[in-house]
Amino acid sequence: MPARDGNEPTTRALVPDDLLRLRDIGLPEGSMVTSHTPLSVSPDGRSLAFLINRANPDTNSYCRALVVLDVASGGTRVVDTGGELITLSYILRGMLEEPGFPDLIVPVWSPDGRWIAYRKKVDGRVQAWRVAADGSGANAVAATADDAESVGWTADGTRILVGVRPGIRETRALIAEEGRSGYLYDDRFNPTTGAFPKITGEHPRVVLSAAPEGGDIRAADAGDAAQLGADVTLGGGSMFSATSRAGRASAKRDFLGPLMLHVEDAAGKAIPCEADICSGKITGLTWIDDTLFVVRSQGRANNEMAIWRWRPGKDNPRQILAGPDVLQGCTAAAGRLICLRENATTPRRVVAIDPGTGHVTVLYDPNPEFASIRLGTSRRLFFSNNVGIETWAELVVPPGYAGGKLPMVVVQYHSDGFLRGGTGDEYPVHAFAARGFAVLSFERPPFFATVKGTPKNNDELMATNNTDWAERRSLLSSVEAGVQKAIDMGIADPARIGITGLSDGASTAAFALINSDRFAAAAMSNCCMEPGAIATYGGPVWARAMQSQGYPPATRPNPEFWEPASIVQNAARIDTPILLQLADREYLHALDVWTVLTELGKPVEMYVFPDERHIRWQPVHRRATWERALDWFDFWLRGRRDESPAKTAQYARWDAMRQGQKTNEKP
C-alpha cells in the first residue's frame, strides 16, 4: 500500500522502476476489456474489495494485498497480504495455453458481508482463501489437488464453493507416464513451447463445497454449483450482462460484428432500443435501480469512452460523461457508479461518478507518488492510411520539451489509458520520453478484412487479411502515416526513427524492416513469421491453421508469396540494427532470421529469457528488457551510451556492429 512521509520533492524525474512498480487494480493494460469487474461490492453497498498487485524486480516477485475501501470516505484497510502472481490460462486450437498475462482476481463477499473469499497462490498452488472483512484473520479453505479457477458462496453463506478442473491434472499425469516410453509426435505438440505434448481438451469444471474454516470438502450439489455461474471454456470470455429488479441487459455479437444491446423487463419482455448506444463497442453494463448505464467506446476512431444512462421503456438514452480517459470495471455502490479511470499521463484510480451529472470524484489513488514525478506531455494525433482506415496515436514528448527535432520511437499496438510499455508492457513510453525521445504510442486500426468486407469466421478473416499481405500493408501504412505526422509537426527527426513491437506489433515491425526505409533501429519481443516457423516450429495444428489462412505448406515452397514478408529472403538488403529479446518458449521462431542476418554480418543481437511466456511475467526480466531497449535506441538513434563498467562488453559488440554497418553501406 502507498505511504507518503511528506518529504517528497515537489517533482522529480521518472526512472523506469517507477513504471515497473506501479500498483495495479485489475488487469494492467487499459486496452484489456473484460465482462468481470475487479471491484467487488459488499452486500450493503458500502464497501469495495479488490486486489492490488505490485511487481518487485529486486526479489523477482509480486507484492499482493486484498484491500477493502469504504465508499463514503475513501478510506482503505488491508485485510490480507501475500501470494504469488496468478497467470491466465485458456484453450486455443484445442491446447492449453499459458501466455504469461495476469489473471483477473475477483473477490466474493459472503451474503452477510463479514467475509471475503478469493483465489490466492501459495507455494505454486492456487487455493480458495477466506478473509475477515475487518482484517482480523484469514485462512486457506480447501487444499484441493487442483488449482482453484473460481470461488463463491452458497446462498446461505455457510459454505464456500470452489471451481476446479481435475482433467488438467489427470492429463498431465498421463503425459508424464507416456514419457517413460517416448512421446508420440502428433497434434499435441508445439515445439516452440517444449519437447513434450501439450495438454489438450476442454476439461469440464467440477464445483466443490468446503467449510469456510477449512476442510470438509465434497462435491457441491447442482443448486449450490449454479451459484458459480455457467461453465465456460477455460479462460473464455462471456458476454456483458447486468441484472436488477428492473430487468436484465446483455450485449453480444456475431463474430467480429458490433455488440448489440438486448434488454428485458422484470417479466422477461424485450424492450427495443433503437438508439446508437445500443450497438457498437460496448465495454460495460450496470444498473442503479431502474436505470441502465452503458459504458462504450465512441467518437473519432473510437478514441473516446462514454457513459450513457437509460431507463428502458421510460425515456431516451442520455450521455453523462465522455472523453479520452479509459473507464474500466464500472459497477454500482451507494447510489453511484464506481469505476477505474486512467489516461495517458495519469495511472489508474478508483473514482465515483454521479449517475445524474457525470461528476467524477477520486475515491482512491493507489499510486500517489506519481503526483511528484515529471512526465512528458502527450497529445492525440489522428491519421488515415493508404486505404482510408483511420486510427490514432499518443505523441509523447520529453518533460520540458521546448521545440526541435527529436529521435522518436514507435511503441505498439494499443494506446489506451496510462502509457506504460505498449502491448505486453515491453517498451516503457514515459521512460523513453524521460531519456529525451519523442514516442509515438500507436493504436492499432481495425482489421483490413472487417473494414473492406464481412468475414463470417476467423479463417475468412485471416484469409482476406493475408491476401497479398493486405493486413500487414494496411498496418504499416498506418504506422508510417503517424510517423509522418510527427515529422510534419517538426517534432520527429526523420533520420532517427525507431520501431518496437510484441506479438502482432512485432510482425508489423518485421514487415516494416522489409518494406520501408523509414526506421533506423528496431527492437522486437517476438520473431518471426517465416516459412519454417509457419510449417514446422509451431507444430502440426498451427501449420494447418496457417494453411487455412493462405500460407503455403512445407511441401510447396513459395518464395514469391514470402517475398514481401520474409526477413530471411530479404536479409541481404536489411541494414537496420535489430534487437531481439525473446522468451525461451518462442525463440525457435527467430533462429532462421538470426542465423542468416549473422552470417551476412548484419547488426542483430538476440537474448533468450528463461521460463518466460508470450508476455513477460517475471519482473526481473521486464527490467532487463527495458534497460537494454533504452540503451539500444540511445546508442543507435542518439549516439549515447551508459558508462557503467558492467556494460563494457555490450558496447564493444555494438561498436563492432556499427563499424560493420558502415563497411556494408552501399556507395
* Catalytic positions: 503, 586, 614
Contacts of 173 (CB under 8 A, 6+ apart): none
The three grid cell numbers given for residue 407, joined into one nine-digit string: 529521435
The three grid cell numbers given for residue 467, joined into one nine-digit string: 491476401
Q: Going edge to edge, which strands form the sheet with 360-364?
A: 326-333, 336-343, 346-353, 360-364
d(CA 298, CA 35): 18
Contact 650, 658 (CB under 8 A): no
Percentages helix, strand, coil for the chain (3-state, rounded to 5) are: 25, 35, 40
Measured between alpha carbons, how far is residue 170 from residues 125, 127, 200, 210, 265 in Å?
16, 18, 11, 22, 45
At residue 479, the 3 state secondary structure works out as helix
Q: What is the dihedral of CA 134, 135, 137, 141, to 10 degrees?
A: 80
Q: Nearest 5°: phi and psi at 501?
A: 180, 150
d(CA 451, CA 444): 13
- CA-based diameter of the chain, in Å? 81
The three grid cell numbers given for residue 321, joined into one nine-digit string: 460523461
Q: What is the dihedral of CA 189, 191, 195, 200, to 10 degrees?
A: -30
Cis peptide bond upstream of 273, omega within 30 = no
Phi-psi region of 571 (alpha: psi -120 to 50; beta: other; left: phi over 0): alpha
